[in-house]
Amino acid sequence: MKQKLRQYKAWLYLLPAIVFLGIFMVYPLLDVVIYSFEEGFNFVTQSSRGTGLFNYSYVLHDPYFVQALKNTFLIVIITVPVSTGLALLISLALSSVKPLRNLFQTVYFLPYVTNTLAVGLVFMVLFKKTAYTDGMVNLLLGVFGVPSVDFIDGPYWAKLLVMCIYTVWVVLPFKILILTSALASVNPDYYKAARVDGTRPSRIFFRITLPLISPMVFYLVITGFIGAFKAYSDEVALFGTDLNAAGMNTMVGYVYDMLYGASGGYPSYASAAALILFLIVLTITCINLMVSRRSVHY
């Protein structure tokens, strides 16, 4: 009897959280799943023409979606390894220099506290071609005789390059922060022991340092994948809101456009696209976890 009462009490205490999560998370999630199977759902009339896989089929055949999928995948595949590797290099350097370490740490941390759109503006100055100037980078390249390229409105590879540089630059600080603290938490006795044994620096790094910080590296890779799949605001900061026209849309951007964009008003398509994104992220994260479980063991 008392046990039961205690159970009711527990549920009572949990109730506020459950109600809020239910209304604002679980219900919308389920709703999205339902929308995605309802053909031509209309918010105003709350009606649809039927149910089936039509939305998925439409989205997967939409060239804009395919473009967005391709962009997202490229951004993920390029920026996650590059940013993690760079962050590792920089944090190794940071943890081995003594003078000016705080200054460097602040400099590397700046992008983290800077507004995305402000950073976008800076990138415009660097890369955008206008009637008055070719942009800083083009001017610099010009010194070496490289023909100027329009990085913002030009060829696809140029836009993708800028996009990747931008993404890497924005995600670096967090990774550096995590990795420097991971490196600092490695017991210095391991290094002393390795030194007395005459271990080469490369062997110390690959056999001692990297395995010891591998949990953190995998954490960064996993969150990096998820973050890159959800990329959207960075693209807007560089290429404006009409990403489809610029050919630089991402999957989240596609979902947004389907809902609220100029060509929007299609919650069914948006839901289907969102679920496809969800499935992709889920699959990749599962693979990541499996890989990390196999190579991080202690």
Partner 1 sequence: MKITLDHVTKRFPNRNKKIHSDVIAVNDFTFEIPDGKLIGLLGPSGCGKSTTLNLISGLETPTSGRIFFGDTDVTDVPAENRGVGLVFQNYALYPHLTVLDNIMFPLGNLRGSEKLTKEQMRDKAMAVAKLVQIDELTERRPKELSGGQQQRVAIARALVKMPSVLLLDEPLSNLDARLRLQTREELARIQRETGITTVFVTHDQEEAMSISDLIVVMKDGLFQQMGKPQDVYDIPDNLFVAKFLGTPPINVFEGTVRDGRLFLGETAVLPVHDLAMGGEPVGEPKNVFVGIRPEGFIPAEDGALALTLRKIEVMGRDTSVVASHEALTTPTLRAIVASDAPVYESDGIVRFDIKPSKLHLFDRDTEARIAFVTD
Which residues bind to partner 1, rule: CB under 8 A? 187, 189-190, 192-200, 203, 207-208, 211-212, 214, 297-298
**To which H or E segment does residue 38 belong?**
strand 38-39
Toward partner 1, which CB reaches closer, 63 or 198? 198
Distance CA 123, CA 114 (A): 13
Q: Are 111 and 167 in contact (CB under 8 A)?
A: no
Q: Which phi and psi angles does 218 have, rounded to 5°?
A: -65, -35
CB of 84 to partner 1, least distance (A): 19
Q: In angstroms, what is the minimal distance from the CB of 87 to partner 1?
A: 21
Comparing CB distances to partner 1, the nearer of 44 and 189 is: 189
* Cβ 197 to partner 1 shortest distance, Å: 4
Q: CB-wise, 194 or 259, nearer to partner 1? A: 194
Contact in structure between 114 and 107 (CB atoms under 8 Å) = no
Closest distance to partner 1 from the beta carbon of 163 (Å): 37
Burial-class residue 58 by CB neighbours within 10 Å (0-12, 13-18, 19+). Answer: middle
Closest approach, Cβ 83 to partner 1, in A, equals 25
Residue 49 or 200 having the CB closest to partner 1: 200
The answer to whether 166 and 119 are in contact (CB under 8 A) is: yes
Q: How far is the CB of 211 from partner 1 (least distance, A)?
A: 4
The tokens describing 17, both together, are: 């959280």
H-only helix segments in the chain? 2-21, 27-37, 54-61, 63-96, 101-113, 116-127, 136-143, 156-184, 188-196, 201-203, 210-229, 233-239, 243-246, 251-260, 267-295
Terminal-residue alpha carbon distance, the chain: 45
Minimum CB separation of residue 294 from partner 1 in Å reads: 13
**Smaller CB distance to partner 1: residue 144 or 189?**
189
Which residue number, 211 or 265, has a Cβ lying nearer to partner 1? 211
Name residues whose C-beta falls within 8 Å of residue 222's C-beta, 6 or more positions apart in sequence: 285, 288, 289, 292
CB 206 to partner 1: min, Å: 11
Helix axes 116-127, 156-184, angle to 10 degrees: 130
51 vs 295 by CB, closer to partner 1 = 295
Q: Which residue, 16 or 198, has its beta carbon nearer to partner 1? A: 198
